[in-house]
Chains A and B, each alone.
Chain A
Amino acid sequence: MTRDLNVAVDTVGVADATPDEKQPWAELGLKDDEYQRIREILGRRPTQSELAMYSIMWSEHCSYKSSRVHLRQFGQKNPKTPRLLAGIGENAGVVAIDENIAVTFKVESHNHPSFVEPKQGAATGVGGIIRDIIAMGARPIAVMDSLRFGAIDHPDTARVLPGVVDGIGHYGNCVGLPNIGGETYFDPSYQGNPLVNALAVGVLPRARLQSMQASGTGNVVILLGAKTGLDGIGGVSVLGSASFSENAEDDARPAVQVGDPFTEKLLIEVCLELFDAGLVVGVQDLGGAGLTCALSETAAAGDGGMHVDLELVPLRAEGMEPHDILASESQERMLLIVDPAKAEEVLARSHRWGLLATAIGTVTGSGRLVVDFHGQTVVDVPPKSLADEGPVYHRPLAEPNDLGLISVDRAETLPRPATDEEIRQTVLDMAASPNLCDKSWITEQYDSSVFGNTVLATPHDAGVVRLDERTGVGIAISLDGNGRFARLDPYVGAQLSLAEAYRNVAVTGATPIAISDCLNFGSPEDPHVMWQFERAVTGIADGAQKLGIPVTGGNVSFYNQTGRDAIHPTPVLGVLGVIDDVARRIPLGLGKTGDTIALIGTTLDELSGSEWANVVHGHLGGVPPKVDLDHEMKLAELLARLAGTEQLAAAHDLSEGGLAQAMVEAICHSGLGAQILLPEGADPFTYLFSESSGRVLVVIPRGQELAVRTACEQRGLPITPLGVTDANTDGLHLRDHFDIGRAELEAAWKGRIGARLGE
């Protein structure tokens, strides 16, 4: 499509000739000194297109300017492991499974778009993380999500939650990826700032690992996938405001994108075909910041420069200016760097799949990223200045003033249920509470088994997927966060989430090997938030070092804040593990009649930050439970061993809601009953509701009790027999205290989400 150049394009020549022209750098979010630095780098004022590119690439989202100084800890403390094939800085971390195959996984936030337009925001969040996986050379095989909303009975939650769930289900189901797990929490601190964190995982032959480098002078730059439209341009539109007001249509340019999962499916297939045929030198997905980010990152990672003719980009909207094209966040696009001798074949193969593919430029040896528009140069910059040399801030840190007061306001001093009847009612009230109740209203909207490789999915502790039918090797992934604990102590809270994700992977019998994280915080300009961030990052980096598994990548989401009220600091941790034979995974449940139910780990009087304090008292104070990562490592090693020898019938991590909730879930899931006798001298309330870390409920098949006990004792892990599984017991029988029949348990636990949302 040709167009008349009726609007004067702001070229490099024009910029040279008009050095004093006023530019809307402040409206684009740049600071005075940042704008001056751009002028220094270029030796002139930036063109409109260059200004758009710098404002995007130097934004918090792309440059990590507030977080970078802290994130360095991951690189410094990460344990060295031969498994790590690609780490932080790549599109997603890649870890080796064996000598032939590797997996790549990453978790990323799409919080703000999901608040504005829940369905499309969440859907494009899933689409974006899938493209990161493709860009590493992998076939995406599963997705997960970690969701946080405001109070369940707040009217806006009824708008946001169903939309988000619809969007995740729509996109994932259409692309044909199983959703194998995740978490959903409600807390008033997320009112107005819901968190939508999506994780994707993919598998690749190790030889197919791709790079984002645009190297090799003369290589062709190809844009693959959907057309480029005006969606998601947001702030950059101030640049075109003069011409924009002439537009007859009064549509405001939405900062929302609509994705097309069927195009994404084609992208997966085309890219994998091209990778397998050895036709691609470098690849980068187009996500936030669109072409701007993809061009500058590939050029910066390469060794030369790049020349792009922007008018060649296939457009969906009329009258798009160069800065619009560069900033567009249209979905389902990838950038490929291809040997010129193979370019024809790449285009032909893409077209055969029905996808647009267009050569838009070449790799040059100039060391500059040059963008022309109808023969006029609109961008001429050193690519590293965009991608790697953005501003770095050492923002001030200050411990929140209220933390001292909060830490002495311990939940352990709150009034507790005294009688058996009161404790019994507390079990039911907790099971029915928003954070602990059955989430199948959400998860049944997702396809969890497409591909036929899903071994475990929600409600199991971790999702387990088979990678190879012949060997049975598979992976387990869990995604966990706890903003309440992190609010009380971000260092310990982050480690508790890490420990929980690690343990959730371990209870399936898998061995944890890698971490991905999504760090959701308030405004970095608030020293209290920045302090929380620094503590959480340090906690994760120290935890990864201790556990001996690397942080392979992730994402930071700041500004989750309304006015002065920031969300609870919410680091969400994804842990990936490997299991040699998925046939030997350990499920959730109660095994079969006569099996022994036991608890591994120690129960202390730890209630601060617990769900009990939240549900019963609306209380958040004290110090969170202690973390013992040595203990977690021993526990994981034990569980992997017992899975391999098939000496456990079931296992379940104890987390929010403690032992009581773990029993409710195991009973409801298994269809069997449990006869439980608490250890002599144990306080029933504490034993049932404490949230002490490092505990796992295990079910031991008849005849294996001694072997399991010995294995625990050899590792110094305390194990306490609690009772037996019994098909003839109706629900939970807590000897000397109370009974709760299955019907009553299920009535409390099930059907709550839909009912609370008025559906």
Chain B
Amino acid sequence: MARVVVDVMLKSEILDPQGEAVLGALPRLGVGDVASVRIGKRVEIEFDEHAQNIEEQSRVIADQLLANPVIENFTVSIEQGSTETGPVGAP
């Protein structure tokens, strides 16, 4: 079984209101030395044992469904136990 992890992050120029909200809340925890917080999402995909072209398929999933390429970047990494090696980096 191959396990693929897709990380989706807003492009660096794009405002991340969620990250800003967390940054704004940190002083209340007494944490005052954080300069920036960016929040993305991690998606774990498990292919079954017959799966072929795992990297290619993962990219299709990431590009067309998980990420919005207009404002987000993603990375696809294939974890150990699979027949292919990862991570494979940004598009």
* A residues lining the B interface (CB < 8 Å): 116-117, 120, 226, 229-231, 249-251, 253-254, 256-260, 262-263, 316-317, 330-331, 354
Which of A250, A258, A317 touches B10 (beta carbons < 8 Å)?
A258
* Shortest Cβ distance from residue A249 to the other chain B in the assembled complex, whole angstroms: 6
Residues from 19 to 74 in B contacting A, C-beta threshold 8 Å: 20-21, 24, 68, 70-71, 73
Q: Which B residues are CB-close (under 8 A) to A116?
A: 70
Chain B residue at minimum C-beta to C-beta distance from A317:
B13
* Shortest Cβ distance from residue B18 to the other chain A in the assembled complex, whole angstroms: 9
Q: Considering the chains assembled together, what is the distance between the CA atoms of A249 and B38 in angstroms?
A: 16
Which of A249, A260, A317 touches B20 (beta carbons < 8 Å)?
A260
* B residues lining the A interface (CB < 8 Å): 10-17, 20-21, 24, 68, 70-71, 73, 90
Chain B residue at minimum C-beta to C-beta distance from A120:
B71
Q: Considering the chains assembled together, what is the distance between the CA atoms of A259 and B17 in angstroms?
A: 8
Q: Considering the chains assembled together, what is the distance between the CA atoms of A744 and B21 in angstroms?
A: 50
Instruction: Decide yes or no: A117 and B68 within 8 Å by CB, A251-B73, A354-B24 being known contacts.
Output: yes
Q: Are A317 and B12 in contact (CB under 8 A)?
A: yes
Instruction: Decide yes or no: A253 and B20 within 8 Å by CB, A117-B68, A117-B70, A258-B71 being known contacts.
Output: no
Q: Are B17 and A258 in contact (CB under 8 A)?
A: yes
Q: Considering the chains assembled together, what is the distance between the CA atoms of A558 and B13 in angstroms?
A: 28
Chain B residue at minimum C-beta to C-beta distance from A260:
B17
Q: Are B71 and A117 in contact (CB under 8 A)?
A: yes
Q: Considering the chains assembled together, what is the distance between the CA atoms of A584 and B68 in angstroms?
A: 48
Looking at chain A's contact residues, the main secondary structure is loop
Q: Are B15 and A257 in contact (CB under 8 A)?
A: yes
Q: Are B17 and A256 in contact (CB under 8 A)?
A: no
Q: Which A residues are CB-close (under 8 A) to B73?
A: 251
Q: Considering the chains assembled together, what is the distance between the CA atoms of A2 and B14 in angstroms?
A: 22
Going nearest first, the 4 A-B pairs with the smallest beta carbon separation are A260-B17, A230-B13, A117-B70, A258-B15
Q: Are A229 and B13 in contact (CB under 8 A)?
A: yes
Given A229-B15, A258-B10: 10 more A-B contacts, CB < 8 Å? A231-B15, A253-B13, A257-B14, A258-B17, A259-B15, A262-B17, A263-B17, A317-B12, A317-B13, A330-B15
**Cross-chain pairs A/B with CB under 8 angstroms, 6 sampled:** A117-B70, A231-B14, A257-B14, A260-B17, A317-B12, A331-B15
Q: Considering the chains assembled together, what is the distance between the CA atoms of A598 and B68 in angstroms?
A: 52
* Shortest Cβ distance from residue B67 to the other chain A in the assembled complex, whole angstroms: 13
Q: Which B residues are CB-close (under 8 A) to A263?
A: 17
Q: Considering the chains assembled together, what is the distance between the CA atoms of A331 and B13 in angstroms?
A: 13
* Shortest Cβ distance from residue A59 to the other chain B in the assembled complex, whole angstroms: 21
Instruction: Decide yes or no: A251 and B12 within 8 Å by CB, A116-B70, A117-B68 being known contacts.
Output: yes
* Shortest Cβ distance from residue B66 to the other chain A in the assembled complex, whole angstroms: 15
Q: Which A residues are CB-close (under 8 A) to B13?
A: 229-231, 251, 253-254, 317
* Shortest Cβ distance from residue B84 to the other chain A in the assembled complex, whole angstroms: 24
Q: Considering the chains assembled together, what is the distance between the CA atoms of A257 and B16 in angstroms?
A: 10
Q: Are A251 and B11 in contact (CB under 8 A)?
A: yes
Q: Which A residues are CB-close (under 8 A) to B17?
A: 258-260, 262-263
* Shortest Cβ distance from residue A595 to the other chain B in the assembled complex, whole angstroms: 50
Q: Which A residues are CB-close (under 8 A) to B15?
A: 226, 229, 231, 257-260, 316, 330-331
Q: Considering the chains assembled together, what is the distance between the CA atoms of A257 and B90 in angstroms?
A: 22
Chain B residue at minimum C-beta to C-beta distance from A259:
B15
Chain A residue at minimum C-beta to C-beta distance from B73:
A251
Q: Are B20 and A254 in contact (CB under 8 A)?
A: no
Chain B residue at minimum C-beta to C-beta distance from A233:
B13
In this complex, the member of B10, B15, B16, B21 whose beta carbon has the largest number of chain A beta carbons within 10 angstroms is B15
Q: Which B residues are CB-close (under 8 A) to A229?
A: 13-15
Q: Which B residues are CB-close (under 8 A) to A230?
A: 13
Q: Are A254 and B11 in contact (CB under 8 A)?
A: yes
Which of B16, B24, B71 touches A254 (beta carbons < 8 Å)?
B71
Q: Considering the chains assembled together, what is the distance between the CA atoms of A546 and B16 in angstroms?
A: 49
* Shortest Cβ distance from residue A234 to the other chain B in the assembled complex, whole angstroms: 12
In this complex, the member of B10, B14, B21, B90 whose beta carbon has the largest number of chain A beta carbons within 10 angstroms is B14
Chain A residue at minimum C-beta to C-beta distance from B36:
A316
Q: Considering the chains assembled together, what is the distance between the CA atoms of A250 and B12 in angstroms?
A: 10
Q: Are A256 and B90 in contact (CB under 8 A)?
A: no
Q: Considering the chains assembled together, what is the distance between the CA atoms of A753 and B85 in angstroms?
A: 45
Which of A226, A250, A254, A354 touches B14 (beta carbons < 8 Å)?
A254
Q: Are B20 and A256 in contact (CB under 8 A)?
A: no
Q: Considering the chains assembled together, what is the distance between the CA atoms of A330 and B67 in angstroms?
A: 22
Q: Are A256 and B12 in contact (CB under 8 A)?
A: no
Q: Considering the chains assembled together, what is the distance between the CA atoms of A230 and B13 in angstroms?
A: 5
Q: Which B residues are CB-close (under 8 A) to A231?
A: 13-15
Chain A residue at minimum C-beta to C-beta distance from B70:
A117
Q: Considering the chains assembled together, what is the distance between the CA atoms of A248 and B11 in angstroms?
A: 13
Q: Which A residues are CB-close (under 8 A) to B24?
A: 354
Chain B residue at minimum C-beta to C-beta distance from A250:
B90
Q: Which B residues are CB-close (under 8 A) to A257?
A: 14-15
* Shortest Cβ distance from residue B25 to the other chain A in the assembled complex, whole angstroms: 11
Q: Are B70 and A249 in contact (CB under 8 A)?
A: no
Q: Which B residues are CB-close (under 8 A) to A249?
A: 12
Q: Which B residues are CB-close (under 8 A) to A120?
A: 71
Q: Considering the chains assembled together, what is the distance between the CA atoms of A120 and B73 in angstroms?
A: 16
Q: Which A residues are CB-close (under 8 A) to B20?
A: 260
* Shortest Cβ distance from residue B36 to the other chain A in the assembled complex, whole angstroms: 9
Q: Which A residues are CB-close (under 8 A) to B16?
A: 258
* Shortest Cβ distance from residue B5 to the other chain A in the assembled complex, whole angstroms: 21
Q: Considering the chains assembled together, what is the distance between the CA atoms of A226 and B24 in angstroms?
A: 13
Q: Considering the chains assembled together, what is the distance between the CA atoms of A253 and B71 in angstroms?
A: 10
Q: Considering the chains assembled together, what is the distance between the CA atoms of A316 and B35 in angstroms?
A: 11
* Shortest Cβ distance from residue A319 to the other chain B in the assembled complex, whole angstroms: 11
Q: Considering the chains assembled together, what is the distance between the CA atoms of A505 and B68 in angstroms?
A: 40
Q: Which B residues are CB-close (under 8 A) to A317?
A: 12-13
Q: Considering the chains assembled together, what is the distance between the CA atoms of A117 and B90 in angstroms?
A: 21
Q: Which A residues are CB-close (under 8 A) to B14?
A: 229, 231, 254, 256-258
Chain A residue at minimum C-beta to C-beta distance from B10:
A258
* Shortest Cβ distance from residue A256 to the other chain B in the assembled complex, whole angstroms: 6
Q: Considering the chains assembled together, what is the distance between the CA atoms of A263 and B75 in angstroms?
A: 30
Q: Which A residues are CB-close (under 8 A) to B68?
A: 117
